[in-house]
Amino acid sequence: MSEISSAKWRDKLLYRFLKYVTIHSTSEPGISKIPSTERQWNIANYIYEELRSLGLEDVSLDENGYVMGYIPSNINENLPTVGFIAHYDTSPDFSGEHVNPQIWKNYDGSDLTLNEETGFSLKTSEFPELKNHIGETLITTDGTTLLGADDKAGIAEIVTSAEYLLIHPEIKHGRIAIGFTPDEEIGKGADLFDVKKFGADWAYTVDGSEVGELEFENFNAGGVVISIKGKSVHPGSAKGKMLNAGLLAVEFSNAMPENETPSTTEGYEGFYHLTNISGSVEKAQLQYIIRDHDLKKYEQRKAFMQETVNKFNIKYGKDVFNIEIVDQYFNMKEKIEDKMFIIDIAKKAMTKVGIKANIKAIRGGTDGSKLSYMGLPCPNIFAGGLNFHGPYEFVPLESMIKATEVIIAIVENIE
């Protein structure tokens, strides 16, 4: 067992995480360049300098914001190179600016008032998983921003593991590659990732939630934009002439299956998710994401949206509705199921540090989804945070310690 749980390493891990989350790095959809926001360069540069100061070799930060570094092999054997990857952007679903993390030591199982001024609370009645962490140190928001544990917890765990391995040469291992990406939260995190340069035989994203999560299945995913052209006429003489694009947007939304949304599905069930709606009489737009673990069902979802647009154009006139569908990523299972030794290594590592692996399908995706199709098999392991993408997000320090121990144990298990 490593000494990661000692006060010295707990403090290192905590300090590192707190520093990362206070650096604003929200990504932004609809931007063609990578990274999508200039602010992401602040944390990319910080991590780059940090890796150099720790003594990793061949540390680089490329023109697209991808940070890479390596821990050299310390044995003569020719072992595979394993990689660990996390993303440094935070979700645009909620504010990631001016993050003010709060630390709750020896959590007692009660409700947490995160903001005295507003009364904003993290309640056990709404989030019963809190009671799984009684006696632990919790890191929360102040109720005004997200926290950023997705995925800055993963970054802190990977960098802390790297530091630990560099100063503990008695732990024998092959070459280790680590990488940090922008724009994962908007589905572009792996788009310009240089797999050949990274040089790993396989990798793990450290981007999951609860302790023990180990995932090699994820959604097939697409983004959909519906654009609607209305016809603006003075309301006093609009009968038979006006075409209200805003109302058409509402009608289209109502045409989607009401029981196939994120709030009505679970497990392997897919969904249509309206993420944004805007409009006026003259024009309107709806943005969706569509998800399904089954590729055939995913293709059927895309076809259903296209068919619905066609029906509306028959009803209201040619080209009133326009649809754009973009595939974002696919289920990594197809690229990993013939390489299950990668999963076995992670399972063995979790057992070694006293964790039971919880193999489950991701109701989402990670950079590993695309990377697996780019030639880098890349399942996902837990980072420890919960309730991502909003003010209820929190992470137990003890979960981050366990994730760090798992990374080190994976390195030790490669033969």
Tokens of residue 362, six digits: 């991701």
Q: Name 189's Cβ contacts closer than 8 Å, sequence gap at least 6.
A: 87, 89, 181, 182, 183, 367, 370
- Burial (CB count <10 Å: 0-12, 13-18, 19+), residue 115: middle
Q: Determine the Cα–Cα distance for residues 262 and 167; give it in Å rounded to an integer.
A: 45
CA 221 – CA 364 distance, rounded (Å)? 8
Write down the catalytic residue from 151, 184, 207, 367: 184
Question: CB atoms < 10 A from the CB of 38, how many?
Answer: 8
Residue 90 near residue 40 (C-beta atoms within 8 A): no
User: Partners of 277 in the beta sheet?
Assistant: 286
Tokens of 115: 């903001």
191 included as an active-site residue = no
- Rounded to 5 degrees, φ, ψ at 220 are -80, 135
**Cα–chain-centroid distance for residue 299?**
23
114 phi, psi to nearest 5 deg: -80, -25
Let me know if 3 is a catalytic residue: no
Q: Tell me the C-alpha distance between 281 and 195, whole Å.
A: 47
Choice among 50, 89, 150, 215 that is catalytic: 89
Query: Measured between alpha carbons, how far is 113 from 42 in angstroms, rounded to an integer?
Result: 31
Q: Of 8, 9, 123, which Cα lies nearest the Cα of 401?
A: 9
Question: Strands 138-140 and 102-104: what pairing?
Answer: antiparallel
DSSP 96-121: -SS---EEETT--SS-EEEETTTTEE
DSSP state of 303: H
Q: Point out which residues pair with 209 in neighbouring strands.
A: none
Looking at the annotation, which residues are catalytic? 89, 184
